């Protein structure tokens, strides 16, 4: 089932789009919490922060897309 889901057309596009949406929303919320100051980037290593948020976005996008596409495939198999 795992291989079917990750090779389904549109799966990786969904992972990337959901991951980027998560990262943008996270950064916007983090920016608002910090008082609309970019201090959260300069207080620590900015490269580490950006790579970490991109990795978190990928993980989030993968799990949400995997759930979405596995439900879609199960429903498709049940109809057949």
pLDDT digit string (tens) for 50-76? 899 999 999 999 999 999 999 999 998
Domain contains 22: yes
| Spatial separation of the C-alpha atoms in residues 17 and 7, rounded to whole Å | 17
Domain contains 60: yes
Buried b (16+ CB within 10 A) or exposed e, 22-31: bbeeebeeee
Domain contains 25: yes
How many separate domains does the chain show? 1
Can you give the pTM of this predicted structure?
Answer: 0.83
Domain limits for position 53: 12-79
Domain contains 28: yes
Domain contains 1: no
pLDDT tens track for 6-40: 899 999 999 999 999 999 999 899 889 888 887 77
Domain contains 42: yes
Which two tokens mark 59?
């993980």
Domain contains 4: no
């Amino acid at each position: 089932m795992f291989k079917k889901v990750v090779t389904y057309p549109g799966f990786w596009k969904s992972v990337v789009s959901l991951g980027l949406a998560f990262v943008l929303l996270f950064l916007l919320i983090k920016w608002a919490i910090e008082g609309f100051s970019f201090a959260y980037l300069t207080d620590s290593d900015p490269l580490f922060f950006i790579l970490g948020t991109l990795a978190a976005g990928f993980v989030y996008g993968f799990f949400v897309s995997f759930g979405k596409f596995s439900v879609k495939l199960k429903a498709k198999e049940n109809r057949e």
